[in-house]
Structure 1
Amino acid sequence: MAYRESFYRYLMTLRDADSTDPVVQFANNAQNDQTFPKQEQNYEKLSEYLELNAGYLPSMSIFDQAYQMYHDKMMY
């Protein structure tokens, strides 16, 4: 089975303190989330965590967009 980086690790590549893009803001805020599941790749597990713990995420559609970007990148 091929190695696939975690969603968190991918998300950290999107950080940019000067950006107003919602996905980038999600990445910036996730960096400060000490309990973020940093090794997780599974959509359902990540979604459940974020729904219960990520007050910094204004809409789950932002996570959906970020996860789709992650999924597309990991397909290569």
Structure 2
Amino acid sequence: MKRSFYEYLMTLRNTESVEPDAEFANNAFRDQSFPKHEQDYEKISEYLELNAGYLPSMTIFDETYAKYQDTDRK
């Protein structure tokens, strides 16, 4: 069974990092409404565009989601 994007994102958490994907993961961890079981790009993207003021650029999500897809193909 494919893991959710959130499960993948949590592997990137690092409270001491200033890397954009780590900061995204740290903030998503604190976001109680984040769609934790979702895998679909469009649904997650829509949620982030409407609710995630902590994400300074959707490019960060796009790049992180691409890495998520790459890890699933291996």
TM-score interval for Structure 1 and Structure 2 normalised by the shorter chain = over 0.9
Q: Check if 1:49 corresponds to 2:52.
A: no
1:20 match: 18
Partner Cα distance (2:73, 2:51) in 1: 28
Tell me the TM-score normalised to structure 2 length.
0.98
Partner Cα distance (1:49, 1:60) in 2: 11
Letter in 1 for 2:66: Q
Q: Flag structure 1 segments of 5+ consecutive residues without an equivalent.
A: none
Tell me the TM-score normalised to structure 1 length.
0.96
Q: Deviations 1:14-68 (Å, cap 9, x if unpaired)? A: 0001100011100000000000000000000000000000000000000001100
Q: Check if 1:61 corresponds to 2:59.
A: yes
Q: Percent identity?
A: 62
Aligned length: 74
Q: Flag structure 2 segments of 5+ consecutive residues without an equivalent.
A: none
Over aligned residue pairs, what C-alpha RMSD do you find? 0.4
2:35 match: 37
